[in-house]
Every structure is written in structure tokens, then in C-alpha cells.
Amino acid sequence: MKTLKFAVLPGDGIGPEVMEVTLNLLSIVGERYGFALDYTEGDVGGIGIDNHGQALPDSTLELCRNADAILFGSVGGPKWESLPPKEQPERAALLPIRKAFSLYANIRPGLLYAELNDASPLKAERIPEGIDIVCIRELTGGIYFGQPKETTTLPSGEKRAIDTMVYTTGEIERIAQVAIDTALTRGKRVCSVDKANVLETSVLWREVVTAYFKKHAPEIELSHMYVDNAAMQLARDPNQFDVLFTENMFGDILSDEMGVICGSLGMLASASLGAEKNTLDLPFGLYEPSGGTAPDIAGQGIANPCAQILSAALMLRYSFGENEAADAIEAAVRKAVTSGTRTGDIAFGLPSVGTKAMGEAVLQQLQA
């Protein structure tokens, strides 16, 4: 039997609760689709700081290095909020792990089922069919990582801070390929978002993307949009997009906007694919829910596990090639939710269930 070897990093807040439900579900899915799980858990985020003095402990990095994928929960919480920004769990865990595994391609599906369109802050009549788009964000370049990045004190005593936005042709081309691959499985339309009316990096981005698509994917309809307009268009008519494709910081902002118009962060998964292949010759990747640690409801057993479950489905698809199992999980989540089993974040007047019962409802749909 095929064995899936992955690292499990539940993190903080609701992370461990939704992870437990997800791992149970995965092992049953494995029995059905013919794979076994071989996973090792590690500390990350606040619990990493508490237990090892580091948000991304060396021991955790090591176990990720020995795995074919990382299933990630979420990190952070009030306990660590007074730390300096650089040491806070989110930044001190996520940025180095992205760098360590060259996780350059962030894929965030923006999916809102039609039945849940009340959950969106957009008027239901604007999205009668729900929302179905995907954001491809470059994740290891741009202003997040460019050097110099520093704060200095000028002779006058005034302080001066610099971040550097930088992209190379190669970085743009490899993420363009991910946008192409994604569009080919969907509506074959890509909107590349930049700020080419102001930024040098965006002028290069647009040039390279245009040439790359022309050469490698002439069948894809490519358009370009400035980021300020894209932010407006996303709120006006999200389904005008199929694949929204952009650099690191613009993607950070637009993917959160996409998350909020899709209703509940409790439903949104993400994949961050690496430049390296795993032992199965598939992309090594990190899979995490788009929402946070939800400290306000942590420990109560009421968090929505769907985003974590859907992230596990992405892991099966991208890092393990288990497409059938991934499709089945996604369909089961959809059926469970649309047939009325809902956690509080998506209940809207319907009676709501807890984390475990939500997981069981998904399982029942899988077995139906």
C-alpha cells in the first residue's frame, strides 16, 4: 500500500482541534482509496516559542525535511501579541518556512457555494451562483524578502526604514507557469495584477508574463489589471475573474479581500507549492487553512474544520497525486454543508454543530 509521509504542524488556537478531525477523516479516506498515513507532529508558532524558544524550532524544520508535504494548522494568538513584530508567531514561523522550502506558489481558492451566499458581505443578487475564483500569489519574492530591508538612524537622529521590492525574470516565469497550469483546469482565463503605471517591478512583471503566456499558453486568455482597480473589481463582480494572478504583497491583500467576500474563512483552504519535488516526484508543499487561530473560540470544540479538511484535500492532490480522494473530500464537504450541517460561522439561523460533528457529517457524505 502507498504510504503518505507528511509533517503535521497544528500550531495554536483552533489549529489542534481542526487538525484532529482532519487526520481522523484522512485515515478513513486512506482505507477507502488505498493509502496509509505516516505523519509526525511538530510544534510551530506560539507553542514553538513556549516549548523551544523558537516559532519555527529546528526539530520541526528537520521533520518537515523528512516529509513529502506539510499539513499546517494556524499560528498566533493574544499570548504572543506583545512580542516584537519580527518574533511574533505568524511572521517568525511562516516567512522562514516559506523561504526554507522555496514555497513560491501560493494557491488560494475563493469558493463560496451558492447555498451559502448569505455568508458573503456582497449582496446575494450579485453572486447568485456563489463565487468560484482562485488567487495565485507569488510567495517568496517581492517586497517581503528583498534586500536591503532595514531601519537605520540618520545623522540628524531621524530614523529611516527601507523595504525593497525586487523580481527577476525567472521568479516571474515560474509563478506564471503555475497560473497557466491552474487556468487549464478551470476557465482558461488569467488576470495578471500589477502596478505597472508606477512600479519598475510591475513593468517587468507585465512584460515577462505577456511574453511567457504568448509562448507557452496562447490558448489562455490573459488580461492585465492595476491592483487598485482589481481591489474594486473584486468587490464589484468577483466572478469576472477566473484566475487572479499576482506578486507577493498584492496577493496578500487581494487574497484576504477574496476571503472576506467568500463568506467564512472557516471554508477556505490554501496550498503553497515549493520549487523542489518530493520523493514522489510531485511538488513539496505546505497546506494550510486561510483563516487564523480564532483565539475567541479556541478550546470550545466549535471551530469549523472544513478549511483544514479542504487543505488536506489539496495536499492529496498536489503533493501525493491522490486526485480521486481529493475530489471526493471536496464534494463531501460541499454536500455536508449545503445539506445543512454547519458550524456557527456558516449557520445563519440554522442549528449549528461542533467541530467533531461537522467532521462526521463530511465523513458520512464520503461514505454515502
Which residues of this chain interact with ligand IPM, rule CB under 6 A?
90-91, 94-95, 252
* 91 binding partner (options ligand IPM, Mg ion, none; Cβ < 5 to 8 Å by kind): ligand IPM
252 in catalytic set: yes
- Output 90 or 171, the one with its CB closest to Mg ion: 90
167 counts as catalytic: no
The separation between CA 178 and the C-alpha centre of its own chain, rounded to angstroms, equals 14
Q: Of residues 33, 181, 188, 256, which has the active-site annotation?
A: 256
Identify whether the C-beta of residue 358 lies closer than 8 Å to the C-beta of residue 310: no
Contact window for Mg ion (CB under 5 A) among 24-32, 110-118, 222-230, 251-259? 251-259
Asked if 312 and 71 count as a contact pair (C-beta separation under 8 A), the reply is yes
Burial class (CB in 10 A: 0-12, 13-18, 19+), 151: exposed
Which of 115, 163, 181, 252 touches Mg ion by CB under 5 A?
A: 252
Q: Of the ranges 188-196, 224-232, 249-257, 309-317, which one interacts with Mg ion (CB under 5 A)?
A: 249-257
The smaller minimum CB distance to Mg ion, of residues 173 and 252, is found at 252
Q: Does 194 participate in catalysis according to the annotation? A: no
Which C-beta is closer to ligand IPM: that of 37 or that of 95?
95
The residues facing 226 across adjacent strands are 194
Q: Residue 307, CB half-sphere, CA atoms under 13 Å: how many?
A: 33
Catalytic residue among 228, 237, 277, 327: 228
Contacts of residue 351, Cβ cutoff 8 Å, sequence gap at least 6: none
- Tell the smallest beta-carbon distance from residue 201 to ligand IPM (Å): 17
Nearest to 94 by CA among 67, 76, 68: 76
Looking at the Cβ atoms of 86 and 159, the one nearer to Mg ion is 86
Pair type for strands 221-226 and 189-194: parallel
In DSSP terms, which residues pair with 285 in a beta bridge?
273
Q: Which is nearer to ligand IPM, 193 or 361 (CB)?
A: 193
- Residue 94 contact, options Mg ion, ligand IPM, none, Cβ 5-8 Å cut-off depending on partner type: ligand IPM
- The burial class, CB within 10 Å (0-12 / 13-18 / 19+), for 112 is buried
**Catalytic-residue membership of 132:** no
**Is 144 among the residues known to form the active site?**
yes
By a kind-dependent CB cut-off of 5 to 8 A, residue 68 interacts, out of ligand IPM, Mg ion, none, with none
Residue 118 CA to residue 103 CA, distance in Å, equals: 34
Is 3 in a helix, a strand, or coil? strand
- Residues serving a catalytic function are 144, 195, 228, 252, 256
Q: Which residues bind Mg ion (CB under 5 A)?
A: 252
